[in-house]
Structure 1
Amino acid sequence: MHIRSLLVVGVILLGIGACTGKRMAGQRPVKHGADTVALALPIGETVFLEREGLHVTFSKVLEDSRCPQGVACVWAGVAAVEITVMGTYTRPQTFVLATTALPAKGYGTKQTFNDLQLAMAGLEPRPMADDSASIHRKYVLRLLVSGGHRSR
C-alpha cells in the first residue's frame, strides 16, 4: 500500500512539473525583451514567467471609470485591477495596479515584487458610450515586468 501511495504522489508531481512552462492552457504568449517582458493577460488567468520565476494572475477589475470611446470627458477616468504574484520560493502577494496613480485610493501604476517591477500598460477593451453589456466584458490586462532577470 505504501508503494502505491508513493507512485500516485510521483505521478502528481510529474504532472505539476509539466505545467511550469511559459504559459498555461488558454494563455496568450508573452514577449520577452532584453530587460522587459510584455504580456496580455485575460481576466481570471495565470501565466508563469519562467525566466523571472514568477506566476502572475489577473484576479479582477476593481474600477473602470475611463471615459468611453467617442465621448468628450472632463476627466479621463481610471481603470484599476487586482493581480496576485508569486515567486518560485515566495508566498503570493496581491497588488493593485491602475492606469493613473491615485494615492488617496491606494492606486499606483507600478508595484515592486522581489527585484521585479510590474507596471500596468493598459486594460482592454475601453468602455463604449452605450456600454449596457459592460458586466460581460472580457478584460485583458497589458502588463510589463522588468528587472531581476536571471540567466538559466
Structure 2
Amino acid sequence: MFHKILLFSFAIFTLMNCQSQKLTKESGAKKSTKNQVKDVLQENLIYLNEGQTNFLKEQQMNVTFKGIISDSRCPTGVNCIWAGAAKVSVEVMTTTSRPMLIELSSLDLTSRNFVKTQNFAGYNITLEKVLPYPNQTNNTATLKGQYQIALKIEKGNVDHNNTENPITTQ
C-alpha cells in the first residue's frame, strides 16, 4: 500500500512539473515577442522581407520590398578598400496615388548615385538596415531571397546636401 501511495505521489508531482515547464516556455515566448514589438516601436522602423508588402495605416501607404539591386558591402572578416553599399528597390503607393518604384542605398553618396532617403507623398523614406550582412561564406548570390530591410518613414523633405565619402571599412 505504501508503494502505491509513493508511486502515485511521484506521478502527480511529475505531471505538475511538466505543466510548470510548459507555462514557463509559453510566457518566455510571449516576452520575446513583446520585446521585438517594443524594439520596432522605439526605433520607429518597418521591417520587410524580400517580396513582402506592408500597409501603413498612419501614412495610408503600401510599401513593398521588391528586391536587392546590388550589394557591394565588404564581407565581415575581410579587409576592403571601400566599405561598399547595398542598393534596394522599394515600391511605394498611397491610397490616392499610383505605385512608384524608388531606389534606396545603405549610404548617401550622390557621386555614385547612392541615395539613402527619398521623399514620397510628403514622407521621407530612409533605408536604415539591410540584413543579413554578407560574410566570407554567404555572398550576394547565396543571400538572394533572404534579405530583409528596415525602413524609417517620417513626414518631411529630403536634404541631399549631406554626402559622405566612405573610403575604408570598420
**Superposition TM-score, scaled by structure 2 size:** 0.63
Residues in 1 aligned to 2:92 and 2:57: alpha-carbon distance in whole angstroms = 13
Map residues 106-125 of structure 1 onto 2, 5 A cutoff: 106-125=113-132
Deviation string 1:93-114 (CA, Å, 9 cap, x unpaired) is 1100001223244320000001
CA distance 1:74–1:105, change in 2 (3 Å): closer
Question: Larger C-alpha radius of gyration, 1 or 2?
Answer: 2
Residues in 2 aligned to 1:112 and 1:92: alpha-carbon distance in whole angstroms = 14
Deviation string 1:55-104 (CA, Å, 9 cap, x unpaired) is 00000100001000111211111100000000011111110000122324
Match for residue 141 of structure 1 among 120, 144, 149: 149
Aligned to 2:33: none
Shift of 1:38: 0.9
Aligned to 1:84: 91
User: Between the two proteins, what is the percent identity of the paired residues?
Assistant: 30
Unaligned runs of 5+ in 2: 1-35, 157-170
Aligned to 2:19: none
Residues in 1 aligned to 2:118 and 2:90: alpha-carbon distance in whole angstroms = 10
Name the SS of the counterpart of 1:134 in structure 2.
helix
**Contact 2:63–2:91 (8 Å) recurs in 1:** yes
| Structure 2 counterpart of 1:141, one-letter code | I
**Contact 2:90–2:102 (8 Å) recurs in 1:** yes
Shift of 1:135: 4.6
| Structure 2 counterpart of 1:145, one-letter code | I
Match for residue 65 of structure 2 among 46, 58, 80: 58
Aligned to 1:40: 47
Residues in 2 aligned to 1:59 and 1:104: alpha-carbon distance in whole angstroms = 24
Count of matched residue positions in the alignment of Structure 1 and Structure 2: 119
Map residues 1-20 of structure 1 onto 2, 5 A cutoff: none
Residues in 1 aligned to 2:138 and 2:145: alpha-carbon distance in whole angstroms = 9
Alpha-carbon RMSD across the aligned residues, in angstroms, is 2.3
CA distance 1:137–1:69, change in 2 (3 Å): farther
Match for residue 69 of structure 1 among 61, 73, 76: 76
Which structure shows the higher strand fraction? 1
Deviation string 1:38-58 (CA, Å, 9 cap, x unpaired) is 111001010000011010000
Residues in 2 aligned to 1:93 and 1:137: alpha-carbon distance in whole angstroms = 22
Residues in 2 aligned to 1:43 and 1:147: alpha-carbon distance in whole angstroms = 25
**Contact 1:127–1:134 (8 Å) recurs in 2:** no
Which structure shows the higher helix fraction? 2
Aligned to 2:106: 99
- Runs of 4+ in structure 1 over 6 Å off: none
